[in-house]
Amino acid sequence: MELAKRIQPTMTRQEQEQRDRKAASNRQLTALLGKIAIYVVTTTLAIIFIAPWAWMVSASFQPIGDIFDWPPSWIPENFTLNNYTRFFEEANIGRLVLNSTLVAGSVVIAQLFLNSLAAYTFAKRRFPGRNLLFVIMLGALMIPGQVNLIPAYLILQHVPLAGGNDILGNGGHGWLDSYAGLIVPSLSSIYGIFLLRQYMKSIPDDLIDAAKIDGAGHFRIYWQIVLPLCGPALAAMSIFTFTYHWNDFFWPLILITSESLRTLQLGLALFVVRNRTVWDIVMAGSVIATLPILVIFLLFQRYFIRGISLTGMRG
């Protein structure tokens, strides 16, 4: 504004003040309009994003006739829990939830220990071959799952003395169609090790050296000093791992043939394939399959987000 005054000296003081005020209110108006635009765009996008999902929840409480209404009714007119009770009756839901929880839970517990111990070793100990080994393992993340898939299937089929196999691993189905087959290949994960290692790198070495001088061995340092400091990273890893295995569909699809061993996602997918038109029950099942993950997400959101950015930023 100083500049404007000098350029136009003929302007009276009153005119100048008016001009300034106008400019200021213009700026405010632009800022306000910008703000409104941001809210409008963000809200519209958010509605579009949540709409299909909201519809699933809404439809799960509607009788089948109402689901087929055009225009779609977003608020259930004839609210019913019937879809849920019928899904419970037809899909042996308890067993599905139990299987999913058991598989995802065991994997998380195993990975909490194995991943963090490996991460500590890679982050804080020096030993020949460390960097080479770590780089090879990270590089292996690039290998598409389809390459490992078939041999992994054959390995599980030929586990000796399991599932009717002889000592050479022939004759039976091995670990196919078993909990072990779903769990054992995922007892550790390179991705999880990487995430924890990145976090442990930020713990000062002085802390570890001090513990060494006090006579603590590596396992004690890991267990009593480093692990308690890794709470957020361990939480993030656990949530990722649980979500991944809870949501996993492909591996159970290939491995599991017995009805009693189906996971929730597999049970739901096969239910859809078998009963293509019972949308009311399918929607109730979908809500049940999503609910545990949603609750975990809402409770531990900040760990989720932190965990993602922790691995995301390092590339």
- Nearest distance, CB of residue 313 and another protein, angstroms: 6
- Nearest distance, CB of residue 56 and another protein, angstroms: 5
Picking from 160, 244, 234, the residue whose alpha carbon sits closest to that of residue 198 is 234
Closer to another protein by CB, 27 or 125: give it.
Answer: 125
Q: Which residues contact 261 (CB under 8 A, 6 or more apart)?
A: 99, 177, 178, 179, 182
CA distance 256 to 233: 32
- Nearest distance, CB of residue 201 and another protein, angstroms: 16
Beta strands in 149-241 (DSSP E): none
- Nearest distance, CB of residue 261 and another protein, angstroms: 17
Closer to another protein by CB, 207 or 272: give it.
Answer: 272
CA distance 114 to 186: 11
- Nearest distance, CB of residue 14 and another protein, angstroms: 29
76: left (phi over 0), alpha (psi -120 to 50) or beta: beta
Closer to another protein by CB, 79 or 250: give it.
Answer: 250
Say which amino acid occupies 96: L
CA distance 130 to 18: 72
Closer to another protein by CB, 15 or 161: give it.
Answer: 161
Closer to another protein by CB, 43 or 78: give it.
Answer: 43
The tokens describing 155, both together, are: 């390995």
